């Protein structure tokens, strides 16, 4: 009889803010849903949640984007800004156009701007490579100094994410640096499933 191996539960590990790296600039071809294209430098002073996704990624549609939308609706954008990154590494002919993305954003009522990842000479887009993303959905949390404080792949625990965001918001301006939780999303198995779509050959955590 076949057995079912459950996904690994998210882990918590302390991360010293002095070890957190500054997020590199995003290399994008264009923005959708933004009258003025945002930049990380322009968002400095706010917590930033970056949700990387593909339209044909089941995990993005089922849990990645809905979670990002709930975060965007729950927080004041002057305090926390959600941005999307449409980073396509498969089925480029189907989901690689601006028109397709605009229709998708309208259909799913995404309440945040989305950048289209700049293409590269290969299948993997430029920002996906620069950020070291292992697949979609991926979620990055940046603090007010543009440091990456969480780098998540797959399903993310909503309560743990909310706790991290609340702590980052309240720590701003503090003279004493503290340890922060680092979340590791539950990784999907090889191939797309309802958890996410890993890059081909992506190593497990």
- CATH for 13-198, options being 3.40.630.30, 3.40.30.10, 3.30.1300.10, 1.10.287.1080: 3.40.30.10
Dihedrals φ, ψ of 27, to 5°? -100, 105
22 contacts: CB under 8 Å, gap ≥ 6: 145, 146, 147, 148
pTM for the model: 0.79
* Rounded distance between C-alpha atoms, residue 88 and residue 111, angstroms: 20
Domain borders along the chain are 13-198
Tens digit of each residue's pLDDT, the chain (205 residues):
444 344 443 443 335 677 789 999 999 999 999 889 999 999 999 999 999 999 989 999 999 999 999 999 999 999 999 999 999 887 666 666 889 999 999 999 999 999 999 988 888 899 999 999 999 999 999 999 999 999 999 999 999 999 889 888 887 755 334 434 445 555 555 567 766 777 776 655 4
């Amino acid at each position: 009889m076949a057995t079912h191996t459950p996904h690994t539960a998210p882990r918590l590990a302390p991360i010293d803010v002095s070890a957190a790296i500054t997020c590199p600039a995003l290399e994008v071809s264009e923005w959708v849903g933004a009258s003025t294209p945002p930049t990380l430098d322009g968002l400095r002073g706010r917590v930033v949640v970056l949700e990387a996704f593909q339209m044909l990624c089941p995990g993005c549609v089922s849990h990645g984007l809905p979670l990002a939308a709930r975060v965007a609706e729950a927080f004041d954008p002057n305090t926390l800004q959600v941005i999307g990154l449409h980073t396509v590494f498969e089925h480029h002919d189907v989901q690689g156009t601006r028109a397709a993305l605009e229709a998708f954003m309208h259909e799913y009522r995404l309440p945040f701007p989305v950048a289209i990842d700049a293409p590269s000479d290969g299948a993997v887009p430029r920002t996906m490579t620069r950020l070291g993303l292992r697949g979609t959905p991926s979620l990055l949390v940046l603090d007010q100094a543009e440091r990456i404080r969480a780098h998540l792949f797959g399903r993310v625990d909503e309560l743990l994410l909310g706790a991290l965001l609340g702590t980052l918001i309240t720590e701003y301006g503090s003279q004493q640096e503290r340890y922060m939780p680092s979340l590791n999303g539950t990784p999907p198995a090889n191939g797309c499933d309802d958890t996410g779509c890993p890059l081909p050959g992506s190593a497990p955590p």
